[in-house]
Amino acid sequence: MKTLLLAATLSLVSTTALAEAGSGKQLYSIYCTQCHGVAGDGKGINAAQMAVQPRDHTDTKEMSARTDEELFKVIEHGGKSINKSVLMPPWGDNLNDDEIHALVGHLRELCCQKN
């Protein structure tokens, strides 16, 4: 019985982790691509009209200089919260902490996991 319970728990944890990983990509496509681009390169459809160009999330050097806490903060509270562009809106009223963590995870995939 303990083995069955352990297996069920591990299965649930694995499923949850996979869902969260997938949700980061999905959330990015909903909330971020308009400015940061589908590829995360800062060349979204809105970028041409913006006075400050959106961050290139595929730039490993730039993104590695940011901590996960900073990325979480800027997603939750907007660019102004880390002395960056006020054009980056705060998403804390739209996204919960788990969703923001999923987005941070996706940002790390974009910048740091080269194919």
DSSP of 33-95:
HHHH-TTSSS--TTGGG-SSPPP-TT-HHHHHTS-HHHHHHHHHH-GGGGTS-TTS---TTTS
| 36 inside domain | no
| 67 inside domain | yes
Residue span of the structural domain in which 22 resides: 2-31+57-112
| 104 inside domain | yes
| 47 inside domain | no
- Give 10 or 26, the one with higher predicted confidence: 26
| 97 inside domain | yes
User: What's the first-to-final CA gap in the chain, in angstroms?
Assistant: 42
- Number of compact structural domains in the chain: 1
**Segment 34-52, tens digit of pLDDT:** 999 999 999 999 999 999 9
| 101 inside domain | yes
**Segment 87-99, tens digit of pLDDT:** 999 999 999 999 9
